[in-house]
């Protein structure tokens, strides 16, 4: 599928944010481990969340999906006998990494595999941390990468040290299963933690389902044994700031205004920082009630298209780095984006993807250690052809550039279905694409 973006100017658009992919994954897993039935309202239905649903079904969890909700019959932490399973996680790193620890709770052996790119993505730090507390995990291909074989039968827990410098999902995988360990879990990170805000998101879900999670002054997460149960058996997924960032970015680069409904202004999602970044670059950000739903907040970004460069640390918000870079190419001064080294381990090498997008539209790109510098072009931004390498965020970031300058052709545009299946339709309905 090919999409051509034309230049848009002085836009005035309104969108509803899709549900959060990160919250949906975690809610499904917590519901599967819960006591009784949980109804997950407003979930995100995408390729990635479908992987998690199908994986849990393969592990014996009963899950029913309708257009507006997911109903999960929990196992109270006692995973059913379902025989040995091989689960294809496709290109969903969130699914595979969370399933590594979860598979320890199964009484059988689980092989976790995925696409060629998934088999290149690191998982060794998680597996080695779990092996350190007695888990039986074997690499079936390259050491430190999927596919892996996990022999279930229990998660011992106790003191666990982990290197989470490449992914916060290693920490989240252990934490979300920690209430069902044989003893209290004390999880200690070794060195820096990538994308730390996503751990806050995991903990928020755990607490909603009734778990106790404490962070000690010396940086150790402590989780006591517990059984999950959602309040009244219901969990509602909030809107996604990562997905909404493309709409806000469109307002910034095109001029005009964009309003997005369905976002929690007080969310723990780290990608809320995108709004603060746009404000520093010269946009106006405000929160108001929706006209059709009084009391329901809507977030509005307004811009005259006159943008300043920015110097910002994005180490806790990797999923919006590409979106921010797409805005930075339209700034009148250079931008420095720090804390980006772990972007090499995503669905694609996103540092290389940013370089290609930046240089393809006529701007300068400099990489120094953990810092990207985006240098705007004196001659202005121009169109180009983009192959996103099957990376949803690269495709949507290229769309932002296309709306700002026009004549951007995106090949393989269907890859957005990984996290935002309705992205192109949303742009079309707003009159921003053909």
Cis ω before 367 (30° cut-off from 0): no
Burial of 120: CB neighbours in 10 Å, binned 0-12, 13-18, 19+: middle
HSE, side-chain direction, 13 A CA sphere, residue 54? 15
Q: Yes or no: say if 351 and 343 are a contact pair by the CB < 8 Å rule.
A: yes
Marked catalytic residue, from 266, 319, 370, 422 = 319
Of 282, 278, 149, 175, the residue nearest 228 (C-alpha): 175
Distance CA 226, CA 288 (A): 39
Rounded CA-CA distance 326/330 in Å is 8
The residue among 71, 47, 69 whose CA lies nearest residue 61 is 71
Cβ proximity of 432 and 399 under 8 Å: no
Give the three-class secondary structure for 404.
Answer: helix
Q: Which two tokens stand for residue 103?
A: 């598979």
At residue 209's C-alpha, the angle toward residues 208 and 211, to 5°, is 95
By the 8 A CB rule, do 97 and 118 touch?
no
- Would you say 351 and 357 are in contact if contact means Cβ atoms under 8 Å apart? no
Residue matched to tokens 């507390």: 133
User: Contact at 8 Å (CB) between 251 and 9?
Assistant: no
Helices (H) and strands (E) in the chain, counts: 12, 23
Query: Is 292 an annotated catalytic residue?
Result: no
Annotated catalytic sites, by residue? 319
């Amino acid at each position: 599928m090919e999409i051509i973006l034309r230049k848009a100017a002085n836009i005035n658009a309104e969108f509803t944010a899709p549900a959060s992919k990160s919250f949906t994954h975690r809610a499904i897993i917590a519901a599967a481990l819960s006591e009784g039935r949980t109804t997950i309202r407003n979930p995100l239905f995408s390729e990635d969340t479908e992987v998690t649903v199908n994986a849990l079904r393969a592990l014996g969890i009963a899950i029913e999906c309708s257009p507006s909700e997911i109903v999960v019959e929990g196992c109270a932490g006692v995973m059913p006998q379902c025989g040995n399973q091989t689960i294809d996680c496709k290109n969903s790193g969130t699914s595979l990494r969370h399933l590594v620890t979860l598979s320890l709770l199964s009484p059988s052996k689980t092989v976790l595999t995925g696409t060629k790119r998934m088999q290149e993505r690191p998982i060794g730090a998680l597996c080695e941390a779990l092996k350190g507390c007695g888990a039986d995990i074997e690499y079936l291909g390259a050491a430190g990468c999927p596919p892996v074989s996990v022999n279930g039968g229990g998660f011992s827990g106790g003191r666990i040290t982990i290197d989470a410098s490449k992914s916060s999902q290693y920490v989240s995988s252990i934490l979300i299963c920690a209430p069902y360990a044989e003893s209290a879990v004390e999880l200690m990170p070794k060195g820096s933690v990538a994308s730390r805000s996503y751990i806050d998101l995991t903990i928020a879900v755990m607490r909603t389902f009734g778990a106790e999670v404490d962070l000690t002054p010396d940086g150790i997460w402590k989780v006591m044994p517990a059984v999950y149960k959602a309040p009244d058996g219901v969990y509602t997924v909030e809107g996604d700031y990562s997905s909404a960032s493309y709409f806000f970015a469109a307002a910034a680069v095109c001029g005009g205004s964009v309003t997005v409904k369905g976002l929690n202004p007080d969310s723990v999602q780290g990608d809320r920082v995108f709004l603060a970044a746009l404000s520093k670059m010269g946009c106006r950000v405000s929160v108001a009630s929706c006209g059709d739903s009084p009391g329901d907040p809507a977030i509005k970004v307004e811009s005259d298209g006159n943008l300043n460069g920015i110097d910002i640390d994005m180490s806790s918000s990797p999923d919006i780095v590409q979106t921010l870079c797409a805005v930075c190419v339209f700034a009148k001064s250079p931008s420095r984006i720090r804390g980006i080294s772990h972007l090499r381990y995503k669905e694609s090498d996103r540092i290389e993807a940013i370089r290609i997008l930046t240089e393809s539209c006529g701007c300068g790109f400099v990489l120094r250690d953990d810092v990207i510098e985006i240098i705007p072009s004196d001659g202005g931004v121009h169109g180009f052809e983009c192959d996103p390498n099957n990376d949803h965020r690269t495709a949507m970031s290229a769309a932002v550039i296309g709306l700002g300058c026009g004549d951007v052709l995106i090949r393989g545009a269907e890859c957005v279905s990984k996290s935002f299946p309705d992205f192109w339709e949303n742009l079309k309905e707003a009159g921003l694409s053909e």
